[in-house]
Amino acid sequence: MTLELALVLALLASVIVMFVVNMPRMDAAALIMIVALPVTGVITMNEALAGFADPTIILIAALFVIGEGLVRTGVARRLGDWMHAKAGDSEVKLLVLLMGATAGLGSIMSSTAVVAIFIPVVLRICQNSGTPPSRLMMPLSFAALISGMLTLVATAPNLVVHGELLRQGFSGFGFFSIAPFGVPILVLAILYMLVARKWLGGGSSGEGTTFRRPSVRDWIAQYGLSAHDHRVRLGPASSLIDRRIEDIGFRARGITILAIERERRFGIDMLRPSPELRLQPGDVMLVDVVAEGLDLDALREEFGLEALPLDPGIGFFTDRAHALGMVEVIVPAESWLVGQTLRQAKLRDETALIAIGLRRGRSVVEGDLLTETLAAGDTLLLIGFWDDIRRIQSVRNDLVVLNLPADLDDVAPAATRAPHALGTLALVVGLMVSGVVPNVQAALLGCLLMGLFGCVDMTSAYRAISWKSLVLIVGMLPFSLALQRTGGVDLASDGLIALVGEAGPHLVLGTLFVLTAALGLFISNTATAVLMAPVAISLAQELGASPYPFAMIVALAASTAFMTPISSPVNTLVVGPGNYAFGDFVRIGVPFSLIVLVVSVILVPIVLPFR
């Protein structure tokens, strides 16, 4: 062993210790290595910093932004709601749909983000059905980890292994090269969890909560709004076409226009009913009707309006919750609104919100609220766009926000751009699968389109990127070059061959899998892939075999992080909601990791032959 190799190994051992004790944090430890490795003289400072220009790093950053576009447009949330509707009260069906949806969505966006999205969805389902969250949270995390075994871009370790193949002159993996192994493993995981969930029933289902934020549906029932909502469309001959909202006189008849839906080329825009807004043919008005005895049929005939059906299961436009929301506010004693009617106060002009409910003490005031004189302590229920609701919380001093609905947590800020996000995603995946352009170019194009279509803005795009993960990868990449130059990679591969080389390539694959998965228990799976990928390729060359099965086994093992709650951020996220102990993951995760080991060692040589 040379002095240079001893120095590199000492630095590698020190960074692994830093990762294990988490002092300093992992990205800081990686930065220390960027500074320390050039001091050994094995690599230059430029080579230590070369990772920042690596296409794999740019690709990972771009994928974070594309994933954020799916979150902000509500695509991921709608998938969760669809899953809930399809599963009904069947826990088996729910588990199958949950794991399938999580793995599918995680194959094209951050698995950590997918789990963060689905946790509140699962908790709501558990609260409604009485199912303990512990029976679903671990299946959720397992499916998210397996999503890394479905596509090339699903997880950073796949891209790291792919990048190492390219650096060593090989062609790398295709977009779906890993799927022939991930799909069977996902099926086995679902079957495994259908049995193992019986030993995951110890978590609470949420009882004992002392406070629950009200929902929009709670307010609809409390303020008696369920029969007030109507949707009407302007026909081609409507007398309201090209007239301003303030000129049509609906409010005097006890009708309040809450929002306007207007068709665009790529979707539907929700518009605020500002006084100057002019109506167009085909506009759909969402209206609140409080006047008793109003002949709606005669009104529609008078103005040329078409009635649109409402889903009886939907209350007061809750199906438009991506844009419209509600908030409860109290009129404080010092407010200038005290002693004025809502008509005099022009609250809509001041806040862009509309009062649709008024409560004094425990009594709800019914009828047209415009003529009601406000008193100190009155509670108003306001409806409007979420942006205006957020603004009133921080700007208005004459109204005190009493309650923001729980629905606010589920609002996607760019929900109307969901078709654009899906179209962009389809284009990016298509370009990656076809290989027309490099993967990184396809991902960057997707980022630009997400911004162009308004799915993300610059602030959310930068915030979406996990800079900690990128710095960690960049800091670990120089080790690959340093170990190759000092003979460390050859030493490791020679050691493995000496240990199991004569036992056959299948045993070599199994040993490589075990070493990669075991190392991933202590350091991140991305750092593990950085270290093990060059060893795997060197090992293949020593055996005179194809590098692809050995590289693939590293990618699969890096995603096999089922054994402890700290093996992956995905597992860590579900520990609290699932009320898990450390031993729960060991008890359920270790047997399944062994299953993945066996399946991988059998399937990989079949799909990717040694010769």
Residues 342 and 398 in one domain: yes
pLDDT level of residue 596 (50, 70, 90 thresholds): very high
Q: Please count the structural domains in the chain.
A: 3
pLDDT level of residue 145 (50, 70, 90 thresholds): very high
Residues 333 and 364 in one domain: yes
For 284, the 3-state DSSP assignment is strand
Report the 3 state secondary structure along 291-356.
CCCCCHHHHHHHHCEEEECCCCCCCCCHHHCCCEEEEEEECCCCCCCCCCEHHHHCHHHHHCCEEE
Residues 315 and 330 in one domain: no
Question: Per residue in 75-115, pLDDT tens?
Answer: 766 776 677 777 777 888 889 998 998 898 888 877 776 77
Domain that holds residue 376: 324-409
Residues 330 and 299 in one domain: no
Asked if residue 15 is part of any domain, the answer here is yes
Q: How far is CA 119 from CA 98, 102, 127, 392, 493, in A?
A: 11, 11, 12, 29, 42
Taking Cα atoms as reference points, which of 386, 378, 402 lies closest to residue 328?
A: 402
pLDDT for 498 equals 77
Residues 331 and 368 in one domain: yes
Query: Last residue of a domain, which of 286, 319, 352?
Result: 319
Answer yes or no: is pLDDT of 204 > 60.
no
Region 159-179: what's the mean pLDDT? 91
pLDDT for 316 equals 73
pLDDT for 177 equals 93
Asked if residue 557 is part of any domain, the answer here is no
Region 373-385: what's the mean pLDDT? 87
Residues 306 and 226 in one domain: yes
For 229, the 3-state DSSP assignment is strand
Residues 558, 154: Cα–Cα separation, whole Å: 12
Residues 313 and 355 in one domain: no
Residues 311 and 342 in one domain: no
Asked if residue 380 is part of any domain, the answer here is yes
Residues 353 and 289 in one domain: no
Answer yes or no: is pLDDT of 206 > 50.
no
Structural contact between residues 338 and 412, judged by C-beta atoms closer than 8 angstroms: no
Answer yes or no: is pLDDT of 500 > 50.
yes
CATH number of domain containing 333: 3.30.70.1450
Which range is least confidently modeled, 63-72, 109-118, 506-515? Answer: 109-118
Asked if residue 552 is part of any domain, the answer here is no
Locate 13 and state its tokens. 């051992």
Angle, CA of 278, 279 and 283, to the nearest 5° = 150
Residues 248 and 315 in one domain: yes
Locate 421 and state its tokens. 């996000």
Asked if residue 605 is part of any domain, the answer here is no
Structural contact between residues 232 and 307, judged by C-beta atoms closer than 8 angstroms: yes
Residues 394 and 304 in one domain: no
Question: Per residue in 518-567, pLDDT tens?
Answer: 887 767 778 788 888 988 998 888 888 899 999 999 999 999 989 877 67
Residues 335, 350: Cα–Cα separation, whole Å: 14
Structural contact between residues 406 and 212, judged by C-beta atoms closer than 8 angstroms: yes
Asked if residue 379 is part of any domain, the answer here is yes
Query: Last residue of a domain, which of 409, 426, 456?
Result: 409
273 phi, psi to nearest 5 deg: -80, 65
Residues 238 and 304 in one domain: yes
